[in-house]
Amino acid sequence: MDQAKGQLANAEGQLATSRANQVKTQLDVNRYTPLAKEQAIAQQDLDNCTVRAPFGGIVVSKDAQRGEMVSPVSAGGGFTRTGICTLVDMSSLEVEVDVNESYINRVESDQRVEATLDSYPDWKIPAKVIAIIPAADRQKATVKVRVGFEKLDPRILPDMGVKVAFQGAGEAQAAKRSITIPKTTVRQRDGRDVVWIVRDGRVERRAVAVGATLGDEAIIAAGLTGGERVVVEGWDNLIEGVRVTEAKR
């Protein structure tokens, strides 16, 4: 009897162990089912198709079409492209200009520059020299200079035609000494530029000479002295000598 009980207990223990092994084997099999493998492969294929740019910007052209191959090195055949698209960082637009070797000694870092877009010929954009590339083009006898805008504007687009005028040291000092007022305060009267100033509480019309315009500002070459107050609003109905009060802001 005792022997039979021992054999039964031994058999039950083996059965329990066998069932536990079967459950573990079933779990391992479920972990590596064909469906899970297909999902893992599909996820990897999707990750391989994700394009990540080194910086944020705006796509201005798509260079590759569906079915074409993309490679960093151009290969034979018409179905290989070296890039997917052209990405532009609109916050880092600048001008590259070729300066003749004979005049490069007049250009220096941080020098003031006036840029004029071909699309907006009356708009003088303040800029400055960012860097002078330390290499010359032997064939063209020029040196490349990088010019950066002092303030970007949505009207400035990549690959636009632009002309630049380098401001000499003397001109830069004169611009600092000159008087700058909002361009909208300058009016036309009888073919001359005039502004309204306030003296002793009364308005007075003053003829001025505008030397240049920088963005929304006008540089007055003559007609005003430092410290004078200029009327910036409400000049349409002004009469010479009328008394005015300064608006509180």
User: Domain limits of the chain?
Assistant: 2-34, 90-175, 178-230
pLDDT in tens, 108-161: 888 888 898 989 888 888 999 999 999 888 888 889 999 999 888 888 998 888
- Residue with the larger pLDDT of the pair 114 and 49: 114
Global confidence as pTM? 0.47
Contacts of 9 (CB under 8 A, 6+ apart): none
pLDDT tier for residue 23 given thresholds of 50, 70 and 90: very low
CATH code of the domain occupying 90-175: 2.40.30.170
Whole-number Å distance between alpha carbons of 242 and 244: 6
Whole-number Å distance between alpha carbons of 203 and 150: 35
Which of 28-37, 53-62, 107-116, 225-234 is predicted with the least confidence, judged by mean pLDDT? Answer: 28-37
Q: Quickly list H helices, 32-98.
A: 34-48
Contacts of 207 (CB under 8 A, 6+ apart): 192, 193, 194, 223
Nearest alpha carbon to residue 144 among 152, 133, 129: 133
Question: How wide is the angle at C-alpha 20 spanned by C-alphas 17 and 22, nearest 5°?
Answer: 110
Fold identical between 90-175 and 178-230?
no
Q: In terms of CATH architecture, what is 178-230?
A: Beta Barrel (2.40)
pLDDT in tens, 197-231: 887 778 788 888 777 776 677 777 777 777 778 88
Q: Specify the DSSP element, H or E, that contains 19.
A: helix 2-31
The two three-digit tokens of residue 64, written as one number: 């590759």
Question: How wide is the angle at C-alpha 108 spanned by C-alphas 168 and 135, nearest 5°?
Answer: 135
